[in-house]
Structure 1
Amino acid sequence: MRVDSVFAGLNKKGDFVMTAVLTKSLYCQALLQIAVGAPVAKLPSNSGFDIAQTVWQTALEKAIPDQIAQIRHVCLAGDESWRLHVAEISDRVTCHVHEDGYEVYEIVSGSGTLYSGPSAKSSTGARLLSRHSLQVTSGDVFIVPEGYAHQLVKRGDAPLVIIFACPDSHLAEDRIVLADICEEHPKLFVDADALPGAARDILFRAAQRVKITTHFVANKPLRMPDSEYISFELAGQGFDVADARIVELVSAGDIVVTADIPLAAAVVEKGALAVDPRGELYSDENIKERLFVRDFMDTLRKSGATTGGPPPYGIKDSRAFAAQL
């Protein structure tokens, strides 16, 4: 859906209007941020649909269940190209993605967490490339762009009610269902630039067997298998750019595969674990010692001493890595 058609729908007389604060420039700014893969963000305050509470409450009494989305909703106004709905979420919306057209949401009651992220087509429909979370509450407005998987989960005891605008196709043929993305399972991040091929194959198999989200980051293109659990990100060129990106993405409880000691130290500091492709586990108990040895050896090399390098990666290393993983 073109941006112009969004505003034509929003401003169509007899349907509904946005408050004056939500101008076309604000929409364009939000969509530009999303276009470069940025997380879904809240729009400025007072940007809602300006629908009176008595109106949506009365309409909600006639809401019907949507068995796919696991919500109750009813149409307020609009036509097939752009329609306004009010919906109540008892627990969570089924995670899904639309290939064509944006959606606009306003929280009018309660609070929740929006999980979302860009997706790509796969043999099973679609797979998530990365995931972000956003805490939302009554009065918040946000845009979910086409191609972004999204799942809204209720938080707290108050009823979670939303008003959303979308084309009719989003409630019919243009709705691809994905597995839940709201669960806080550990994720696996891989520093893939110098990763041995044998270790990479082990990670491919582990991701499928354990069903763990595995995200490879490198500054050169790498071939990845078609899997809903495996994704790849091409980091920008430059010293330690890929490492910095992994540190940005990782959270406490996640696992990072890397042979880079400073990167291992950085992710351990954030509460994650790091595993060397040769099978050594880095944690709070040993990372300071490993970092000291690394810095000491680096000082020796800079002084002209010959320290040698690690031996070639072999079967013993890959077995140790698989066992540790």
Structure 2
Amino acid sequence: MKILVDADACPKKVLQICMELGRRYAVAVWTVASFNHNIISDYHVVVGDNDQETDIKVLNLSEARDIIITQDWGLAAMVLGKKTRCISPAGREFRNDNIDFLLEERDMKAKLRRSGGKTKGPSKRTGEEDRRFQECLEAILGEGTKAT
């Protein structure tokens, strides 16, 4: 088991929580980001800045029982197929029973934007999201490991 972070757009607080919980539960934390980002991690993989390059690397590195951190719903759908657990930085766990709905929502919003419509962007990150993320990650880690 490892924690694998899609670090291109991951909030710093989420990375910090991953590192702290990874140490506590003796689980390696891997980060993947393009060379445009300055990420400090024990296991950091640098990729180019081509579209989807980070996602492809995360997908290729993921294995059953890993915990993937991403806000990319498409990547979440793919890694779920590899029997991983997947969490958004906001603390929402992507699961097989909710991913289809999320992908349909993403598709509808993309169609709206292509036709000239506007969709609401993400709101400012809150401490509540950090708390939810930490609780979700810790619950998953607690299921598969013992804290040190």
Check whether TM > 0.5: yes
Alignment of 1:60-209 (within 5 A): 186-209=1-24
Bigger relative contact order, structure 1 or 2, given CA contacts below 8 A and separation 6+? Answer: 2
The question of 1:239 aligning with 2:54 is answered: no
Instruction: Give the match for residue 218 of structure 1.
Output: 33
Q: Give 4+ residue runs of structure 1 displaced > 6 Å after superposition.
A: none
**Distance in 1 separating the partners of 2:61 and 2:27:** 16
Amino acid at match of 1:240: Q
SS in 1 for 2:83: coil
Equivalent-residue separation in structure 2 for 1:299 and 1:271 (angstroms): 30
User: Aligned partners of 2:38 and 2:22: how far apart in 1?
Assistant: 17
Alpha-carbon offset, residue 195 of structure 1: 0.6
Q: Which amino acid aligns with 2:68?
A: V
One-letter identity of the residue aligned with 1:304? G
Whole-angstrom distance in 2 between the partners of 1:273 and 1:301: 30
Aligned residue in 2 for 1:259: 71
Query: Greater helix percent: which structure?
Result: 2
Unmatched segments (≥5 aa) in structure 2: 138-148
| Bigger strand share | 1
Aligned position for 2:83: 271
1:259-304 superposed Cα distances (whole Å, 9 cap, x missing partner): 0000101101111111000000011111111111111111111111
The one-letter code sitting in structure 2 at the alignment partner of 1:322 is: Q
CA contact (8 A) 2:64 2:82 kept: yes
Look up the SS of the partner of 2:89 in the other structure.
Answer: coil
* Greater C-alpha Rg: 1
May I ask how many residue pairs the two structures share in their alignment?
136
Q: Which residue of 1 aligns with 2:146?
A: none
Give yes or no for the alignment of 1:321 onto 2:133.
Answer: yes
Over the aligned positions, Cα root-mean-square deviation in angstroms equals 1.1
Query: Equivalent residue of 1:301, what SS?
Result: helix
**Post-superposition CA distance 1:159-211 (Å, at most 9, x none):** xxxxxxxxxxxxxxxxxxxxxxxxxxx11110000111111111111111111
Q: Identity of paired residues, percent?
A: 30
- Which residue of structure 2 lines up, in the alignment, with residue 284 of structure 1? 96
Separation of aligned partners in 2, 1:294 and 1:221: 26
Distance, in Å, in 2 between the alignment partners of 1:234 and 1:190 is 12
In 1, are the aligned partners of 2:3 and 2:18 still within 8 Å (CA)?
Answer: no
